[in-house]
Amino acid sequence: DAVFHAVSDVPRDKYLAGLLSADFDEDTCQSRYQSTIYRKPSPHKPSAYLIQTLRKYEDRHRRCAPHTAPYNKTLPFLNPGPAPEKETECKYVLWTPAYGLGNRILSLTSAFLYALLTDRVVLINRGSDMTSLFCEPFPDTTWLLPPDFPISDFAPYRRPHPLRYGNLLRNKNISTESDDGRPPPSFVYFHLDHDYDTEDMHFFCEPDQAILRKVPWLFLRSNMYIVPSFFLNQEFEPKLGRMFPEKEAVFHHLSRYLFHPTNEVWGMVTRYYKSYMAMARERLGIQIRVFNSKDAPFDVVSKQVINCTLQEGLLPKLDANARAGDTATDPTKTKSVLLTSLYSGYFDKIKDMYWEHPAVGGVVLSMHQPTHEERQQTDKESHDLKAWAEINLLSLADVLVTSAWSTFGYTGQGLGGITPWILLLPKKGEMPEPTCVRDISMEPCFLTPPSYVCREKRNGDNGKVVPFVTHCTDAGRGLKLV
Ligand code: GDP
């Protein structure tokens, strides 16, 4: 047992303090009940109200799932027309994958929380490989849109679409005035990508949500973690406060509830973990994401990573007093560093540093990088499987360093329950100063939040409305729960 330090064969608390339903067959999705073999126990416990809300959701999902009677009764409302006067028994949020894996996980989490808040059911377009990456999250039912669903192509729902909420408002085809009397359409498309506009942003406001209550079909397209804005909605906030007394654990709980790697991905995760991470006393994860190599050239980023990790004591300093040939190491001080990046250069640089020079205190350091794919290839299955495995491996670290603005890093830190050091974004090839800072919470950042402030009915600063929604460390305009 001295070798496999953290891995025990028996999962502790396999239902995550009641977050997970016990009603699944374990073999079809081993990660669901095995994650606690590898992950440290979370200090964040789900509230009784969250657990109760999830169990109620699971019942609703089963009742409203594809091809049930209430679903069949609601299908005709997909055709353009007015919403029914009386709310349908089942109401839906449709979701489709867009952008990279981290973006997808954050937007789907947001869509799910919206469904919890509005008594809806989430159904997802499986895209090219959602089923190869994720297990079904709800027992005895499916969240996948069936092959016979009337909409097979979601691509035409773009900014110009007439049923886009922003356009409906602009063209006065929907109204939030109570004396208007006209029913809203029975299908509304929400364009909540980073390029949305002020009218689209009204989605988050109370009068708009009131009118949307009657709409049986909502289609939500987003690449962001829009959850912080739900907390600014005064109708949603009381329920959210009961569900999440600890505001920084919203994504932590919901991601652990929703996103279980398939057996194929889990095999990759556990084999890698046992081979390269389990035996070390300490595990450090470093995620390096470069969005623009002009702003963030290789030399600047590698210096930044080394400066940050040495300064914060995450990597051992090099021993300047050691003589050549000094071979003293301390076998109790083993450290495994997991590095994830699309590129291989950073890895070589750090590894060589500790090969060529001894570390202070005789720390024995090993470096590992599972892949270097060189470029993003979202929707290619073999690429996405590895990306998802790497996000999970990051979440198994003890300490994390993640990159500013990266939803890939946000997902790893949230699943792991780890507040990371965040590498600030280099601009114009300049080294940021400081190179990294400890983040204020493990929550993801809502990177392009609405400029429209519902309570003030005008554009303003949504980071100044309530104390628990504030600006992000890594993205000054972004919003984050703390
Ligand atoms: P973001 O762009 O950093 O916010 O994260 P996303 O996950 O949304 O998109 C980036 C995509 O690029 C990932 O989903 C992967 O396909 C790929 N990618 C980026 N960084 C890495 C990495 O460190 N490892 C692997 N395997 N893929 C990566």
**Residue that is last in its domain, among 219, 242, 258:** 258
Is residue 469 predicted with pLDDT exceeding 80? yes
Strand intervals (E) in 303-426:
334-341, 364-368, 399-403, 421-423
Least confident of 152-166, 240-254, 299-313, 400-414: 152-166
Domain limit, last residue, from 215, 230, 258: 258
Tell me how crowded residue 232 is: count the other CB atoms within 10 A of its CB: 23
pLDDT in tens, 214-232: 999 999 999 999 999 999 9
In a domain, 440, yes or no: yes
Could you say which DSSP state residue 398 is in? S
How many Å lie between the centroid of ligand 1 and the Cα of residue 383?
A: 10
| Arithmetic mean of pLDDT, 4-28 | 83
Whether residue 328 is predicted with pLDDT greater than 90 in this model: the reply is no
CA-based angle 273:275:281, to the nearest 5?
70
Q: Could you give the CA distance from residue 323 to residue 372 in angstroms, rounded to a whole number?
A: 35
DSSP for 191-216? EESTT--HHHHGGGSHHHHHHHTT-S
In a domain, 7, yes or no: no
Q: What is the largest CA-CA distance in the chain?
A: 85
Give the tokens for residue 81.
């027309």
Tell me phi and psi for residue 353, to 5 degrees. -55, -45
- The answer to whether 403 and 289 are in contact (CB under 8 A) is yes
Give which of 261, 222, 233 is closest to 35, Cα–Cα.
Answer: 261
Write the CB contacts of 205 (distance below 8 Å, at least 6 apart in sequence). Answer: 233, 452, 454
Q: Are residues 222 and 247 in the same domain?
A: yes
Let me know if residue 33 belongs to a domain. no
Cis peptide before 467 (omega within 30 of 0): no
Non-local CB neighbours of 21 within 8 Å, separated by 6+ positions? 15, 54, 55, 58, 138, 139
Instruction: Using a cut of 0.95, tell me whether the model's pTM lies above it.
Output: yes
Q: Which atom of ligand 1 is nearest to the CA of 289?
A: 20
Using DSSP's 3-state secondary structure scheme, residue 367 falls into strand
Same domain as 268, residue 254: no
pLDDT band of residue 2 (cuts 50, 70, 90) is very low
Q: Do 242 and 332 belong to one domain?
A: no
**CATH code assigned at 363:** 3.40.50.11350
Q: Quick one: 253 and 306 in the same domain?
A: no
Neighbours of 195 (CB within 10 A): 10
Tracing tokens 């000094």 back to the chain, one arrives at 326
Q: How many beta carbons lie within 10 A of that of residue 113, not counting itself? A: 23
Final residue of a domain: which of 206, 237, 258?
Answer: 258
> Which pLDDT score, from 0 to 100, does residue 322 have?
79
363 with 391, same domain: the answer is yes
Residues 6+ apart with CB under 8 A from 121: 60, 61, 64, 65, 90, 91, 92, 93, 115
Contact 189, 94 (CB under 8 A): no
Q: What is the pLDDT of residues 231-267, one digit of tens each?
A: 999 999 999 999 999 999 999 999 999 999 999 999 9
Q: What's the token pair of residue 292?
A: 């623009």
What atom of ligand 1 comes closest to residue 387's alpha carbon? 26
pLDDT in tens, 274-305: 999 999 999 999 999 999 999 999 999 999 99
Share above pLDDT 90 across residues of the chain, in percent, rounded to a whole number: 92
Same structural domain, 154 and 239: yes
* Residues 158 and 242 both lie in one domain: yes
Q: Which atom of ligand 1 is nearest to the CA of 384?
A: 16
Confidence band (pLDDT; 50, 70, 90) for 329? Answer: confident
Q: With 70 as the cut, is the pLDDT of residue 6 above it?
A: no
Distance between CA atoms of 226 and 192, rounded to whole angstroms?
Answer: 8
Residue 286 shares a structural domain with residue 425: yes
Q: Which segments of 347-405 are extended strands (E)? A: 364-368, 399-403
The domain total for the chain is 2
How crowded is residue 141: how many other Cβ atoms within 10 Å of its Cβ?
19
Rounded Cα–Cα distance for residues 269 and 222 (Å) = 28
pLDDT digits (tens, 9 = 90+) for 130-148: 999 999 999 999 999 999 9
Note whether 231 and 293 are same-domain residues.
Answer: no
Q: What is the 3-state secondary structure (H, E, C) of 419-448?
A: CCEEECCCECCECCCCCEEECCCCCCCECC
Q: Is residue 24 situated within a structural domain?
A: no
Q: Which of the listed residues 259, 376, 385, 392 should we mutate to test ligand 1's pocket, taking the one with most ligand atoms within 8 A of CB?
A: 376
Ligand 1 centre to CA of 378 (Å) is 8
CA distance 13 to 45: 11
**Would you place residue 423 in the very low, low, confident or very high pLDDT band (cuts 50, 70, 90)?**
very high
Residue nearest to atom 8 of ligand 1 (CA): 100
Residues 203 and 275 grouped into a single domain: no
Q: How far is the CA of 250 from the centre of ligand 1 (A)?
A: 22
**Positive or negative: CA dihedral 219, 211, 84, 56:** positive
Q: How far apart are CA 339 and CA 285, in angstroms?
A: 6
What residues flank ligand 1, with Cβ below 6 Å?
99-103, 289, 340-342, 371, 373, 376, 378, 383, 386-387, 390, 406-408
Calculate how far, in angstroms, residue 308's C-alpha sits from the geometric centre of ligand 1: 22
Q: Which atom of ligand 1 is nearest to the CA of 409?
A: 3
Banded pLDDT at 8 (limits 50, 70, 90): low
What residues make up the domain containing 189? Answer: 42-258
Q: What is the pLDDT of residue 3?
A: 40
* CA 370–ligand 1 middle distance (angstroms): 13
Atom of ligand 1 nearest to the CA of 104: 8
CA of 408 from ligand 1 middle (Å) equals 6
Residue 1 lies in a domain: no
Could you identify the residue written with the tokens 């973990």? Answer: 273
Q: Are residues 250 and 226 in the same domain?
A: yes
Residue 178 has pLDDT above 80, yes or no: no
Q: Which residue minimizes the CA distance to atom 17 of ligand 1?
A: 376
152, part of any domain: yes
Is it the case that residue 159 has pLDDT exceeding 90?
A: no
pLDDT(418) > 90: yes
Which of 368, 371, 381, 408 has most ligand 1 atoms within 8 Å of its beta carbon, as the pocket-test mutant? 408
- Within a domain: 34: no
Q: What is the sign of the dihedral through the CA atoms of 260, 15, 340 and 305?
A: positive
Q: Identify the pLDDT of residue 74.
A: 98
Angle at 16 between CA 123 and CA 283, to 5 degrees: 105
Judgement on whether residues 393 and 358 belong to the same structural domain of the protein: yes
Q: What share of the chain is helix, strand, coil (3-state, %, to 5)?
A: 35, 15, 50
pLDDT of residue 4: 42
In a domain, 453, yes or no: yes
